Every structure is written in structure tokens, then in C-alpha cells.
Structure 1
Amino acid sequence: MAFFGWKNFGPFQVTSSLGHPIVGRNSTNCVVRGVVTPETSVNNTAYKVTVSIKEGSDMIEQAMCHGCQGATSGCKHVIAFLFWLHRRSEEPSRTEVTCYWKKPVLSDIKRLEPLRAAEMGGPSCSAQQTIDSEACFQEIVGKLKTLNIKNQLTPYIGIGIEPSLYDLIIHRSIFKFKEADGFEDAELFQSYLVSLMSSELCNNIEKETICQSECKLWHEFRFGRVTASKIHEAVHCKKTDGSLVESILGARRLKDNAHLERGRVLEKSVLQVVEKELKTKIEKCGLFLNSEWPVIGASPDGLNNTHIFEVKCPASEKTVTNYVKNGSVATKYMYQMQIQMFFAGKENGYFCVASPDFESTRNVQIVPVVLDRALCTDILTKAVVFWSNTIFPVLFKMV
């Protein structure tokens, strides 16, 4: 859902996308269940949504969307259902009982035929909105702030995190830069971004994003930035509109497969083996930013007081040499390690490559890496040139 996505929940969309509500009540709670038809795929199975409300105080204790991939970080199906409940609660009492036990209107749409502009009629009187949506939204925001509630809406309205942290999200900072009459100059924008950054803010961002890919903010701060895992490609990229640019801007997503899934599953186990081998404790970490290089970011898989750790899990013996050959880290991953060490403030790192048969052997090749500051400066300088020429122009036009 976009930042201003709440405005999309007009009376028709909310009413037409929801159906089959069920109400269950006991002495303490009222539980309402319903189904919400996804507006982008009206013929797909509807999502089941449940809302639990505390009787007496009318407080929402829990709101969940079942079977939705975005449910863990919040999805708009729950919000649509809550808006539907809110509108039902504001309806005047009537003698006639309205039946809500019916299929969502959207679920009956089989095919949308194109409609010419000339065939569209003007708005009817009955279609006029009677509820002040802006006042309703502001009332909700006020309650969220007063009660310090974190839910699906809070990331979009700046609640639950220090406001200045949000200013370091690239697309938001560009928006503010343009509002301040900034023009399309990548170097000038980076100077503006540096003015917003501090060591304290960068440390707070690292703490807030410690869950990495499971954290929404981690994705927000990475958007539009060249990260350590892509920096080798960025340094050598000659295209201004290729797959690398698309992936940095979120337009291209790496397809998941069994090898990637294996890497995610094994990462924790590999680090445990490394801990035992090196007799050290490895801590989780988030996204590291650096005020000197504001459009670059790095997220090691772990760290301790002196080292960062990066884990790779090749699927076959043939692909092991893509990572380590003759005891040396491949250039692509050496670039990644160098930037991770530089941003994390560590002089050393360990490149940990799990054996293809790690599940049975528990073997891990651990290669030590030493920080090379001159190499880092060269890499970062070239990466910023790439960002200025390819990423910034697109971002500037987007907001």
C-alpha cells in the first residue's frame, strides 16, 4: 500500500470488496470475521480477515489477515475490513435490517470490458460521500499516537520510530529535497542527505533493522541505495537501464528458488559452526549506513567485536569456486566484504562458505579478510558515480 494508500479506501471499494461477515460475542470480546476480495485479482480466492474487539471499551485487540503473504508486516485487506467496520458503526439505526451475509460484489466480476471516456457518466447524487474521510483518518491517527499503537498503518504515518530516521529513506529525502526547491543535481542531493545524517541516527537505523529481510524498514532504507552485495556489479555496470538498476529500484525481484531457500535456512546453522570453530560469539546486525557515503549501505550476516561475517551456501562443488578459489575470495565477494567491514567499522572479516553437503558434514571453509581502505575508497567512489548517473535521475522523476 502506498504512503497515501488509505485514501484509496472509498465507500464503494470497501463495500464491494468485502462479504460474508460473521459476528461472535462472549462476555469480554466481540469477534468479527469476513472475506475480502483482492481488487487486483477478483477471481482469486478471497482473503479471510478476523478482528477481535474488547467489549465495553470498543478497543481493537487484534486484526489478522489469514493466508496473505504481507500479513506479517501488515496488509491492506485488514485495513479495508477495519474501514468497513467503522462505516457500519457510523450508520444510523434503521427499522429495516440490512443483510451483510452475501458474496463480495468484486467476486462476481468475470471480465472487465474497456469503457470509453465518452461512455462514462458524471457522478450521481447518491455517489456523493457523506463521511468526511480526512477527519476520520486524522481521528484514527490521533488515537494511534495517543495510545502508542503499532499496526499496519504506522509505517506510513511516521508513528513508532524517530521521525528523523524516516528522513534518511532515499525516496522520502528526495521528496523533501524537491520541496525545498532542490534541482536535479546528484551531488547537491547527496550533500543535502549528509546534512540529515549523524552517527547516532546511523546507529539507530542499524538497531531498527536488525532482523534484516524480515524487517520492513530494512527494505525501505535499502531502496534506491547501492548495497554491498550489488556494489561489484555497480562498479562495472555500463548500462543505465539494465537489470541492476531495476533491482535497486525494486522493479526487478530475484526469483526465489531451492538454492536461495537453502541459503536462508542454513545461514544460522553455518554461523553456529563458525562460532564453535573460532570460539567466539556472533551477533545479528542490521543495515549499516555511513554519512560520508549516504547512498551506499551494507548488511553483514553477523559480527563480533573485531570481525564481520558473511555466509555463502553453494549448492554444488562446481559453484564453490565462484566464491573461493585457491584459498582466495572471488573479486565480487571481496568487494562485498570490504564495504561491509568499512561500514561496520571493523578491520577484519571472515568469509564463510558452507560445503555443498553441509547438512551431513557440517563443514565450513572460513577465509579471513583484512580491510583495505584504499580499495574501499576506490570502490565507493565508482559506485557513487554509477548511482549519480543511473539511479538518481530515475528517483528524482519518481517523486
Structure 2
Amino acid sequence: MCYTIKQTFLIPPMNDEVTVETSVKVKHTKEEKLPRPLTSFYDVTNKELTLQELIDKSDQLFRNYHCSISQSANLFKITEAQNISPLWFEHRKGRITASKAHEVLTLRPTTNPNKLIMRISGYNSYDLSKKEAIKWGLEKEAITRDTYIQYMEKNHSNFECKLSGLKISEQNYFLGASADGVISCSCCGRGTLEIKCPHKHKDKSSMDAAKEDPTFCLDTQLHLKNNHKYYTQIQFQMFVYDTDYCDFVVMTSPNDVILLAIVRICRDPEFCNTLISKCTYFVKELLIPELLTRKLLHDYKVANTSVNDVTKREILLV
């Protein structure tokens, strides 16, 4: 059974740039310890395939690509460091992950999907580490998790929270997620943890943020809005981890006091079915053909080379 938790409590102080693709070489021996990276299915000869041949080859890859339980477990363990793990980055490439799921869900038929395909394929590189909002969120994640654990240990039987690496869905190997923790207790069973530390609202309570900012993820009842990207992220995450609930934790720190809003989100089967159906279509029809051919990456390089050549000629003519 999934119970809704709304708990707010105080604890005393305790630019987008597109780059060429980079990849990490991964050695595979015997029964590979790790899944085969999706980027490794590229072959220059695939560019010569007819449309029907490419459709057939894409369908074949979707049906035949496999990730064993031991491979998935090894990847999950070895990528616990998440964004400082090269393998975490490598195995996210070519997979729809929880943070991208909302973009796939809300993609309109009239919208060109190429930019999204390129981001999921790992062609776009963003240096977010120096951005104040990202830096603040990363710095506060650990203390938020520790504070959450302290609260849960006092209110749940045999509560545990373990770090999580990249989890590959057992139902669709082209989908993956990285929760901020895998949680369990005798009373509620197994779930996931998702932490948000919004820098924009760091100096106010979640309730005040909800009242003042219509774009804030929580409403004034401290419910997660079901049209917000975080709702999609969490539902996708629960599908990948095969859990029935997620504790969504929002941390702010007005006056240097840690304030947590803990919201338990239950799995929404109808929403998940729609979401996973759309993600599966995106994978089969749009993503896998790009993994095989890298056509968009090639076209991007050609376009930018042409622009650079024109610029160079103009400079020489001045």
C-alpha cells in the first residue's frame, strides 16, 4: 500500500554549447561484465542502407539487444558516483533517461525532434558544474539525503537508503534512470528517492515558493503537480526501478536552517503506460536509426564546417 506523506520540518544548521561527440572506450571480455554501450552500434556502412533496410536493422537491434541481470547489477554498482563516473555518462548515451522523459512525452508531432535526439545520443555537452544553481544543488544533496534518512529512521521500521548508480530497465533496455537513492523499510517496502534543491527558492520555505511562484513544482497543498516535468521524471523512474512509490524531497534553507518538504508519490499506471508507450516509439522510430548511422551528427559537423569555412574566408578578405 502506498501512503501519502507530507512532512515539513526544520533542522538547525548542521550556457548551452554543442560539441562533437566524445566517448569512453570500454573493454569487453567473455560474458561482458557490463552491457554493450549503445553508441558502439554505429557503423559507417549503415549510412548506405536503404530506408527499408535501416527500418529492418533498427527493429532487429531493438528486439535483440540484451542486458543480463548481472551486467545491469555491475553497471548499477560501478556508476554510484553518477555524474563523476565516465561509465555513467557513456551508458546514458542513446538511452532515454528519467531527466529526458518529459521532453519525449511532450514532444509534439509538429516539432522537429532532431535536437532532442542529439541530446539523448550524447552529442550535446554542457558544462553545468560552474553554474551557481547546479553547484548549490550538488553541494546540498548529501546533507539533504542525510537529514531525510534521520527523519525516516525515526518514523519507519528498519529503514534503509542506498546510493544508486545507473539502472537499466528490465522491460526496455533503451530506458534508464539514476535515482538519488533506493529506499526500503518493513512498513512500506521498496521505493526510490528523488532530491531537489532549488537554488531559486533556497531562502524561503516550499510553501512560500508554492504561493509566490506558479512554476514551482509543488502546489500550495505541497502536492507535486502532475503536469510538471518532475512528475514525469519520477513516474519514469518508478517504471525503471519497478517500484510503487517515490519519496520526492525538496530542500530549502531560509536563514541557514534546513527545511525539507517530503512528498510521497505513488505510481500512476495510466500515466506510466502513456509515457512508456511514447518513449518506446521514440526509441524505435527515431533514436535507434541515429545510433546506427549518426546522420544528425554528420549533418551537424558538415553544417558547422561550412559556416567556419565561410567565416575564415571573410576574415581573409578583410
Quickly name the TM-score band, shorter chain normalised: 0.5 to 0.7
Confirm or deny that 1:363 pairs with 2:267: no
Task: Give the 3 Å change call, closer, same or farther, for CA 175–200 of structure 1 in structure 2.
Answer: farther
Task: Give the 3 Å change call, closer, same or farther, for CA 274–201 of structure 1 in structure 2.
Answer: same
* Structure 2, gaps ≥5 residues long: 1-22, 154-158, 185-189, 202-208, 296-318
Partner of 1:334: 231
Partner of 1:165: 34
Contact 1:240–1:390 (8 Å) recurs in 2: no
Counterpart secondary structure, 2:165: coil
Shift of 1:158: 0.6
RMSD: 3.1
Please, which of 337, 354, 358 is the counterpart of residue 251 of structure 2? 354
Shift of 1:160: 8.7
Contact 2:164–2:181 (8 Å) recurs in 1: yes
| Residues 1-29 of structure 1 deviation map (CA, whole Å, 9 limit, x = unaligned) | xxxxxxxxxxxxxxxxxxxxxxxxxxxxx
Counterpart secondary structure, 1:363: strand
Shift of 1:166: 4.2
Contact 1:174–1:189 (8 Å) recurs in 2: no
Partner of 1:205: 75
Please, which of 272, 276, 284 is the counterpart of residue 163 of structure 2? 284
TM (norm. structure 2) is: 0.67
Partner of 1:248: 120
TM (norm. structure 1) is: 0.55
Question: Which one has a bigger Cα radius of gyration?
Answer: 1
Contact 1:218–1:287 (8 Å) recurs in 2: yes
Give 1:1-399 correspondences, 5 Å limit: 156=25, 158=27, 163=32, 165-167=34-36, 169-173=37-41, 175=43, 183-185=53-55, 186-193=58-65, 196-238=66-108, 239-256=111-128, 257-279=131-153, 280-305=159-184, 306-314=190-198, 315-316=200-201, 317=209, 321-325=215-219, 326-330=221-225, 331=227, 332-355=229-252, 357=253, 360-398=256-294
Partner of 2:298: none
Moved more, 361-370 or 232-241: 232-241
* Structure 1, gaps ≥5 residues long: 1-152
Task: Give the 3 Å change call, closer, same or farther, for CA 329–240 of structure 1 in structure 2.
Answer: same
Corresponding letter in the other structure for 1:235? L
Shift of 1:162: 6.0
Choose between structure 1 and 2 for higher RCO, CA contacts under 8 A separated by at least 6 residues.
2
Shift of 1:242: 4.5
Provide the aligned length of Structure 1 versus Structure 2.
242
Task: Give the 3 Å change call, closer, same or farther, for CA 188–387 of structure 1 in structure 2.
Answer: same
Corresponding letter in the other structure for 2:164? C
Shift of 1:212: 0.9
| Residues 222-256 of structure 1 deviation map (CA, whole Å, 9 limit, x = unaligned) | 00111011101111113344542232122323452
Shift of 1:156: 2.4
Corresponding letter in the other structure for 1:296? L
Moved more, 242-251 or 279-288: 242-251
Contact 2:94–2:120 (8 Å) recurs in 1: yes
Contact 1:240–1:389 (8 Å) recurs in 2: no
Shift of 1:170: 0.8
Corresponding letter in the other structure for 1:365? A
Counterpart secondary structure, 1:292: coil
Task: Give the 3 Å change call, closer, same or farther, for CA 157–353 of structure 1 in structure 2.
Answer: closer
Corresponding letter in the other structure for 1:165? L
| Residues 134-163 of structure 1 deviation map (CA, whole Å, 9 limit, x = unaligned) | xxxxxxxxxxxxxxxxxxx9x626169963
Contact 2:79–2:88 (8 Å) recurs in 1: yes
Distance 2:64 2:241 in 1: 23
Distance 1:230 1:334 in 2: 12
Distance 2:270 2:30 in 1: 36
Distance 1:271 1:157 in 2: 32
Shift of 1:184: 1.6
* Identical-pair percentage: 22
